[in-house]
Amino acid sequence: MDGRTINSNWSGMAIALAGPFAMGAVLGFPSGPSRMISEGLLLPAVVFGVTALMAPALYIGMSLVGVSPPATEVVRAFGDGLRACGIVLAGLAPATAFLLATADGSWAVWVFGIAAVGAAALLGVRRLFNQLRDEDTSLLRSLPLYTVWALVSLGLGVHFFVQTLRV
């Protein structure tokens, strides 16, 4: 399988949803079944919600700077980024589940939750950047804009994610 051109079909979208759902359920399980379900629904909502909020800003910014590919390419790139994020969350779910099951106290949910979700978000953002960039794109123009955008998106994502843990 060529990882660089992930097939954007229904199974790809399914992993983009299933990964955050699995991780959310894992983060919720120390508190019981109802919390498992609510976290399982909230985390995908946060991921997709922040993406929907920030995607237009990136497209506009990149277009103004002159490094934006066509809109369809941007949508495909966001799809790839979400799938990468979902895959990482799904892959880290078993390890996180074990660590939470063997730890006492809510500190574990915060620490491991933020670490896993943060790692997945970073890799998703990295993947998005690689998909948007091509050989002709000037790194000097795209990287600073993208870095600022990524920091704001990650900041918003962490804020909303922490809110879900506090609920």
- At position 27, the amino acid (one-letter code) is L
User: 88-120: buried (b, 16+ CB within 10 Å) or exposed (e) per residue?
Assistant: bbbebbeebbebbeeeeeeebbeebbeebbeeb
Write the binding mask 47 to 86 for other proteins: x where contact by CB under 8 A, - elsewhere.
Answer: -------------------------------------xx-
Burial class of residue 121, CB neighbours in 10 A (0-12, 13-18, 19+): buried
Measure the CA angle with vertex 114, ends 110 and 115; round to 5°.
Answer: 115
Rule CB under 8 A: choose which of 65, 99, 162, 165 binds other proteins.
Answer: 99
Applying CB under 8 A, does 13 fall inside the site for other proteins? no
> Residue 53 carries which DSSP code?
H
- CB of 4 vs other proteins, minimal distance in Å: 5
The answer to the question of residue 150 lying near other proteins (CB under 8 A) is no
- Kindly state the number of chain residues that form the binding site for other proteins, as judged by CB under 8 A: 35
Token pair belonging to 37? 């379900």
Among 88, 109, 117, 132, binds other proteins (CB under 8 A): 88
Q: Which is nearer to other proteins, 65 or 99 (CB)?
A: 99
With respect to other proteins, which residue has the nearer C-beta, 61 or 91? 91
C-alpha closest to that of 13 among 81, 83, 78, 88:
83
- Which residues here bind other proteins, judged by CB under 8 A? 1-4, 6, 29-30, 32-33, 84-85, 87-88, 90-95, 97-99, 101-105, 108, 119-120, 123-124, 126-127, 130
